[in-house]
Chain A
């Protein structure tokens, strides 16, 4: 599953349309299909934090799930609006604390530091600023490992122009950057999935087995040993549910499995 947190509908629209996501009945503005979930948080750190928490507590998260905060930011640099950035340091303007997202996959974006501000008037004080990413990162860290969390920002305007940004401008920069961002998010998911063997079958076999909690842990450990060694699940665990009817049978069967696997 890929989770997306956007602050504004105008940032999310191109993603919702291109992915053909369906509106969900929710207290937030949410859209989803089988593989992606989008939530629109509203602007500002507090809204972002609440919406991210809501999104992640409503759904069962998998090990390879990832979450992105995508949106526009103000930038005081020479690049034109529409330029895409990956923040490698996210600070906040109120107590100067920072988070450092992991950027381990090759990409064509520009890395930068960014400061999250409480209100848009403060953005003029920083070269790169937004109103969500710090709160997003801090919140998502409660649910995910650091490599499963990413922030992507698109330059909406030159901060020094002091020009009011309208929704149409945002729609345009997001529309123009959609292909690049989509390519990155999809590759990133594949990248994380290709790292490591899929052990969901092991979890499932152990959880559905007739064993006690402790016996299940022993079985899982043994199956991981076998899987990492032989790249397959041993036949001996097939049909264990049918064989093990009583406590003594369960103990006997588990001992047989353990002996077979570690021999």
Chain B
């Protein structure tokens, strides 16, 4: 822990609430949970979230909470940089932005102005947007793409709401991505349209680059708990970071995963190497204190990456290691 951390206010020391949603039941329920927080009424969440001259990473140390109403743009088509798990059409929704974790590689630090956690409380509008595309061909909708919905589920139980809602869908699978250990929201029988994607990486990488996140063994315990309820589970080995002793670290890691999770519980495995859109790198370099940001990357297709040579070589190694233990669908990016 850095000395600055000791002097930081607790998480959610301030809760910024849009005036128009202050009386909403959901808003009041959230406020009640944080009795020691100062409530500050605002006109529009953008006055806080989108203002310039903020330091994303500094705010992540003790984020405030912003509760708001989203008026439009509930659903977006996924970019080619997203892992789509073989679905022809991939979408994502952004009901929450940011999470409680502090990952050095997070692209949000280059995309967003604020490290505070933003939750839009008009859940029904997000549901309706998903309903509107519930037709052929089958689609994947990620609801935790620019956040980790489960990590903020303690603030408001959004995951439960999405689980219940997923039962009404016909041609859509809802993907919930997470590093969280929180499985208390899972219910047997509410699993037909849900894919739980657990991000997993070697502990060496977690300790160094994924601050505040659970260690690997605990994530695997969480995966096994979800598997008991027969959820479809995707293991997302992302972002793969090239480090010294790469082959040794990643082969041990993959062996460990499949030793501790039964392969039949896993619906698919996806993996992808660290990459950052070129439009974000300048901003990230201004605020980052991680060596990961300043590596000598190569610009390819508007992304900074390890370059085709390294990626191809390491990629075939990862693929072979996974195939040693797993015969199901493997997706790479």
A residues near B (Cβ < 8 Å) are 88-89, 98, 100, 102-106, 111, 113, 141, 144-147, 187, 191-192, 194-197, 221-222, 224-226, 228-229, 258, 262
Residues on the B chain within 8 Å of A111, using CB:
38
Q: Let me know if A222 and B7 touch, CB within 8 A.
A: no
Q: How close is B203's CB to chain A, nearest CB, in angstroms? A: 19
Q: Let me know if B294 and A104 touch, CB within 8 A.
A: no
Q: How close is A111's CB to chain B, nearest CB, in angstroms? A: 5
Q: Let me know if A228 and B47 touch, CB within 8 A.
A: no
Q: How close is A182's CB to chain B, nearest CB, in angstroms? A: 16
Q: Let me know if A194 and B289 touch, CB within 8 A.
A: no
Q: Let me know if A103 and B14 touch, CB within 8 A.
A: yes
In the bound complex, what is the Cα–Cα distance between A228 and B294 (angstroms)?
9
Q: Let me know if A100 and B40 touch, CB within 8 A.
A: yes
Q: Let me know if B51 and A104 touch, CB within 8 A.
A: no
In the bound complex, what is the Cα–Cα distance between A106 and B58 (angstroms)?
15
In the bound complex, what is the Cα–Cα distance between A135 and B156 (angstroms)?
37
Q: Chain A: which residue is nearest B38 at the CB level?
A: A111
Q: Let me know if A106 and B9 touch, CB within 8 A.
A: yes
Residue from A100, A195, A222 with most neighbouring chain B CB atoms (10 Å): A195
In the bound complex, what is the Cα–Cα distance between A192 and B296 (angstroms)?
29
B residues near A (Cβ < 8 Å) are 2-4, 7-9, 13-14, 16, 38, 40, 42-43, 47-48, 51-55, 58-59, 61-62, 285, 289-291, 293-296
In the bound complex, what is the Cα–Cα distance between A113 and B42 (angstroms)?
11
Q: Let me know if A228 and B290 touch, CB within 8 A.
A: yes
Sample of 24 A–B contacts (CB below 8 Å): A98-B43, A100-B40, A100-B47, A103-B9, A103-B14, A104-B62, A105-B9, A106-B7, A111-B38, A113-B40, A144-B53, A145-B55, A192-B4, A194-B3, A195-B4, A196-B289, A197-B289, A221-B294, A222-B296, A224-B293, A225-B295, A225-B296, A228-B289, A258-B296
Cβ-defined partner of B2 (8 Å) among A88, A187, A195:
A195
Q: Let me know if A145 and B53 touch, CB within 8 A.
A: yes
Q: Let me know if B61 and A195 touch, CB within 8 A.
A: yes
Q: Chain A: which residue is nearest B10 at the CB level?
A: A106
Residues on the A chain within 8 Å of B40, using CB:
88-89, 100, 113
Residues on the B chain within 8 Å of A89, using CB:
40, 42
Q: Let me know if B289 and A147 touch, CB within 8 A.
A: no
In the bound complex, what is the Cα–Cα distance between A19 and B313 (angstroms)?
62
Q: Chain B: which residue is nearest A227 at the CB level?
A: B291
Q: How close is A85's CB to chain B, nearest CB, in angstroms? A: 12
In the bound complex, what is the Cα–Cα distance between A104 and B43 (angstroms)?
22
In the bound complex, what is the Cα–Cα distance between A36 and B216 (angstroms)?
48
Given contacts A104-B61, A111-B38, contact A224 B294 (CB under 8 A): yes
Q: Chain B: which residue is nearest A142 at the CB level?
A: B53
Residues on the A chain within 8 Å of B14, using CB:
88, 103
Q: Let me know if B295 and A262 touch, CB within 8 A.
A: yes
Q: Chain B: which residue is nearest A195 at the CB level?
A: B4
Q: Let me know if A100 and B8 touch, CB within 8 A.
A: no
Cβ-defined partner of B54 (8 Å) among A88, A145, A194, A197:
A145
Q: How close is A231's CB to chain B, nearest CB, in angstroms? A: 10
In the bound complex, what is the Cα–Cα distance between A196 and B3 (angstroms)?
10
Residues on the B chain within 8 Å of A194, using CB:
2-4
Given contacts A89-B40, A195-B58, contact A228 B291 (CB under 8 A): yes
Q: Chain B: which residue is nearest A261 at the CB level?
A: B296
